[in-house]
Amino acid sequence: MTDAAELIDNDFLRQFELKVDGNLAKIEYSLQDRKIFLTKLIVPDAIDNEEFQADFLKLVFANIEERNISVVPTSPEIAKFIRRNRRYKKMLPVGIRI
């Protein structure tokens, strides 16, 4: 589902965006020092399912990993994703446990 879609980092609105079938999924964030706080996951009902959320979050985490910054999830859905996908725990800053 997310294969053809392109992830956009909208600096102005401080959110990652992914448009799929005319629907816009977003993850709002706040960038401070070398940390990105992922604050809110917004997925329209038409495309909201766990598989889509996981694919969307994998794209976002790949983008963040390329920039070599730490992730602080403040959204319950994103924290749950990290718990299920242990490989992303290395991206958490020192002292943050999920």
Instruction: Over range 33-61, report the average pLDDT.
Output: 94
- Which pLDDT score is estimated for 5? 74
**Average pLDDT, integer, range 5-9:** 90
Residue 7's nearest CA partner among 30, 29, 32, 24 is 24
pLDDT above 90 coverage of the chain, percent: 80
- Alpha carbon 80 to its chain centroid, in Å, reads 12
Q: Domain residue spans in the chain?
A: 8-91
Q: Are strands 8-10 and 23-32 parallel, antiparallel or unpaired?
A: unpaired
Query: What is the pLDDT, as a whole number, of residue 75?
Result: 93
Structurally, at CATH architecture level, domain 8-91 sits in 3-Layer(aba) Sandwich (3.40)
User: Residues 26, 16: contact at Cβ < 8 Å?
Assistant: yes
pLDDT value at 1 more than 70 = no
- Quick one: CA dihedral 42, 47, 53, 58, positive or negative? negative
Residue 96 pLDDT grade (very low, low, confident, very high; cuts 50, 70, 90): confident
Cβ atoms of residues 55 and 41 within 8 Å = no
